């Protein structure tokens, strides 16, 4: 790697750390810059067409947007004089989210025999968590006295409180009693699971349960919000629980209609 690129990336990383970007975002953005440098390590020499072709290689609109964010920041910091005319945002997909019914979610959960995996999957669904949030969860984040789950420094570096689901506590205690906690309390509860391992578990268990829909961890968060909404929970409250900055993000659940409204309780049917 040429000295120019090394210095430029160091400046780039330093700025992102000062702005408190997450480590995963820094890694992802640097990965895009590294990939772009395969065309020409002197990035300031790249033409608009070369940059545009690189952006269009994205698999999805969200990946394309992420590339644009990474490149805009890099060039603004290192080459503010360079006029790039191809940072055009793609139109967002307007497809409905194909959520699961409550019964389908519990079919998946019932197919999980590994107690730690069951505690992870139920924790995501019963609190509407992101994968990073369940993976960073520690014992001190569970407030039994106030029946709250404390989510620390999540997306956007924000803390928030979520009503603690009592049913989940039974799954968690079963895991704690079963697991040999030699690791102590200095690590997250579900260490050393990763985001990819959770995705693999969920996909395999959905297949085992005979669910034909595309199932992934964030879908459980979508299911949680949708099921609450159809139960009559106020959208503003759901926005706070999910940690959305804008109501517009939460309102996407208003358009989901393919749900059996008679089965909207989050609780497993007895």
Q: Tens digits of per-residue pLDDT, 229-253? A: 888 889 999 999 999 988 888 887 7
Name the band, by pLDDT with cuts 50, 70 and 90, for residue 262: very low
Q: Over the stretch 114-165, which tens digit does the pLDDT of each residue have?
A: 999 999 999 999 999 999 999 999 999 999 999 999 999 887 778 999 999 9
Name the band, by pLDDT with cuts 50, 70 and 90, for residue 10: very high
pTM reported for the whole predicted model: 0.74
Q: 17 versus 96: which is more confidently predicted?
A: 17
C-alpha pair distances (Å), 201 with each of 37, 76, 91, 137, 218: 36, 41, 32, 19, 13
Tell me, yes or no, if the two domains 3-78 and 102-263 fold the same way.
no
Taking domain 3-78, whether its CATH number is 1.20.58 is answered by: no
Calculate mean pLDDT across residues 205-218. 95
Measured CA to CA, the distance from residue 109 to residue 209 in angstroms comes to 9
Nearest to 191 by CA among 202, 199, 201, 179: 179
Measured CA to CA, the distance from residue 42 to residue 61 in angstroms comes to 27
Measured CA to CA, the distance from residue 118 to residue 174 in angstroms comes to 10
Measured CA to CA, the distance from residue 259 to residue 101 in angstroms comes to 6
Taking domain 102-263, whether its CATH number is 1.10.443.10 is answered by: yes
Domain ranges of the chain: 3-78, 102-263
CB 219 within 8 A of CB 121: no
Measured CA to CA, the distance from residue 258 to residue 260 in angstroms comes to 7
Percent residues over pLDDT 70 in the chain: 89
The crossing angle, in degrees rounded to 10, of helices 195-208 and 217-230 is: 70
Name the band, by pLDDT with cuts 50, 70 and 90, for residue 29: very high
Calculate mean pLDDT across residues 6-33. 94
pLDDT surpasses 50 at 32: yes
| Element holding 136 (H helix, E strand) | none
């Amino acid at each position: 790697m040429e000295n120019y690129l090394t210095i430029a990336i160091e400046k780039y990383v330093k700025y992102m750390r000062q702005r408190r970007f997450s480590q995963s975002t820094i890694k992802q953005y640097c990965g895009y810059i590294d990939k772009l440098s395969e065309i020409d390590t002197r990035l300031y020499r790249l033409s608009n067409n070369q940059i545009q072709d690189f952006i269009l290689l994205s698999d999805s609109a969200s990946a394309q947007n992420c590339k644009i964010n990474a490149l805009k920041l890099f060039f603004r910091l290192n080459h503010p004089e360079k006029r790039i005319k191809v940072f055009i945002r793609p139109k967002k997909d307007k497809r409905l989210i194909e959520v699961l019914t409550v019964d389908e979610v519990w079919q998946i959960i019932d197919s999980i025999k590994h107690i730690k995996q069951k505690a992870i999957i139920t924790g995501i669904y019963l609190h509407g968590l992101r994968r990073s949030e369940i993976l960073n969860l520690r014992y001190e984040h569970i407030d039994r006295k106030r029946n709250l789950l404390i989510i620390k420094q999540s997306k956007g570096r924000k803390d928030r409180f979520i009503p603690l689901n009592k049913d989940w506590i039974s799954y968690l205690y079963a895991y704690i009693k079963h697991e040999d906690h030699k690791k102590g309390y200095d690590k997250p509860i579900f260490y050393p699971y990763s985001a990819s391992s959770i995705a693999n578990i969920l996909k395999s268990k959905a297949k085992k349960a005979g669910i034909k829909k595309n199932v992934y961890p964030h879908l459980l968060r979508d299911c949680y919000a949708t099921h609450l909404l159809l139960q009559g929970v106020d959208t503003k409250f759901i926005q706070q629980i999910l940690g959305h900055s804008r109501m517009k993000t939460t309102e996407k659940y208003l358009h989901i209609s393919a749900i059996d409204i008679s089965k909207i309780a989050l609780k497993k049917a007895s």
